[in-house]
């Protein structure tokens, strides 16, 4: 938190990469790594979606931290015995300390962990999804979509950066502002960008091009949490998502697309934000609403054309062990 009351995200991540050629010392190998996420976290949700869309479930295992954590780190409190069944650790912090015993930066998800050594390789959330789409190509399912087509990369990067600064991170800038001036500035930027997105998505089915891209993955995870958390908890309350016709229809379109809604657990999302953020919600009371069944209502976005997976195909159902409760 800066002296001006503005929230500034620490983005000093472990930037080593898992690549096809292993140039950072971490080569792509089926079964070697474990992707640790939390269902609650929007940044981790991105990685879960891309792993599903690429069909990497059989080569990259998934560890799921629970929604509640303390100052030390995310924990595996939902697993039997409170330990990740593959890594054998109670706290994600342990994997960071195995990489660097003096590690003093954020313990964040998503994190890719080298199973043989138990060390975190990277927690660079923006790079992880790009690499799952590009570096893991040899192990992707038949029909995996191209989420980052070369001809559209400049536009995808531009849109994704705007969305990150003003929406993905913008809701946090509202929620964690400690002065009225900082909050007002973040609130204004958030709603100017959401109005821009509302206009853009009123004319096209997806953010860039006529298929789902990395830009859509990045926006979706914030929209999925907007009414349940950000509208009230983070004071982003000019309107609800359900009151923005194009964005609400767009979000439902993606939610109903295989690989998106089947990674969303609204109960865990609300448990995390309302219980962990003591300074914002000191009572720890978790709201009962909103009713999530609206996510399954018709959206009509097919009328705008577009092909969700381009020349690819939808992913199959998630493994039984990774299924989340449907909206009810």
What's the 3-state SS for the chain? CCCCCCCCCCCCCCCCCCECCCCCCCECCCCCEEEEEECCCHHHHHHHHHHHHHCCCCCCEEEEECCCECCCCEECCCCHHHCCCCCCCCECHHHHHHHCCCCCCCCCCCEEEECCCCEEEECCHHHHHHHHHHCCHHHCCCCCCCCCCHHHHHHHHHHHHHHHHHHHCHHHHHHCCCCHHHHHHHHHHHHHHHHHHHHHHCCCCCCCCCCCCHHHHHHHHHHHHHHHHHCCCCCCCCCCHHHCHHHHHHHHHHHCCCCCHHHCCHHHHHHHHHHHCCCCCCCCCCCCCCCHHHHHCCCCHHHHCCCCCCCCCCCCCCCHHHCCCCCC
Q: Which residue out of 33, 41, 174, 183 is catalytically annotated?
A: 41
Q: Catalytic residue at 183?
A: no
Q: Which residue out of 13, 33, 148, 172 is catalytically annotated?
A: 172
Distance, CA of 51 to CA of 28 (rounded, Å) = 14
Beta strand 33-38 pairing with 61-65: parallel
Q: Catalytic residue at 174?
A: no
List of residues 6+ apart from 189 with CB closer than 8 A: 165, 166, 170, 173
Catalytic residue numbers, as ranges: 41, 172
């Amino acid at each position: 938190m800066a002296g001006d009351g503005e929230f500034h995200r620490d983005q000093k991540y472990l930037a080593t990469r898992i690549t096809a050629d292993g140039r950072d010392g971490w080569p792509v190998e089926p079964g070697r790594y474990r992707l640790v996420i939390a269902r609650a976290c929007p940044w981790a949700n991105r990685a879960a979606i891309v792993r599903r869309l690429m069909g990497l479930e059989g080569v990259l295992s998934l560890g799921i931290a629970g929604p509640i954590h303390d100052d030390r780190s995310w924990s595996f409190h939902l697993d039997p015995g409170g330990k990740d069944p593959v890594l054998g650790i109670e706290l994600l912090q342990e994997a960071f300390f195995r990489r660097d015993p003096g590690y003093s930066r954020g313990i964040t998800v998503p994190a890719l962990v080298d199973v043989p050594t138990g060390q975190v390789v990277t927690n660079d959330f923006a790079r992880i999804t790009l690499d799952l789409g590009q570096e893991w190509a040899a192990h992707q399912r038949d029909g995996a979509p191209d989420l980052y087509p070369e001809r559209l990369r400049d536009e995808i990067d531009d849109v994704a950066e705007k969305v990150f600064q003003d929406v993905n991170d913008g809701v946090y800038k509202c929620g964690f502002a400690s002065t009225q001036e900082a909050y007002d500035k973040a609130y204004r930027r958030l709603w100017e960008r959401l109005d821009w997105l509302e206009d853009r998505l009123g004319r096209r089915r997806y953010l860039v091009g006529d298929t789902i891209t990395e830009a859509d993955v990045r926006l979706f995870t914030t929209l999925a949490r907007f009414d349940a958390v950000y509208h009230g908890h983070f004071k982003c309350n000019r309107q609800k998502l359900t009151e923005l016709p194009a964005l609400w229809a767009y979000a439902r379109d993606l939610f109903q697309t295989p690989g998106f809604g089947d990674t969303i657990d609204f109960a865990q999302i609300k448990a995390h934000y309302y219980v962990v953020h003591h300074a914002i919600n000191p009572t720890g009371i978790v709201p009962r609403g909103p009713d999530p069944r609206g996510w399954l209502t018709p959206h009509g976005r097919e009328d705008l054309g577009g092909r969700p997976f381009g020349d690819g195909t939808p992913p199959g159902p998630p493994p039984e062990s990774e299924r989340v409760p449907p909206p009810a």
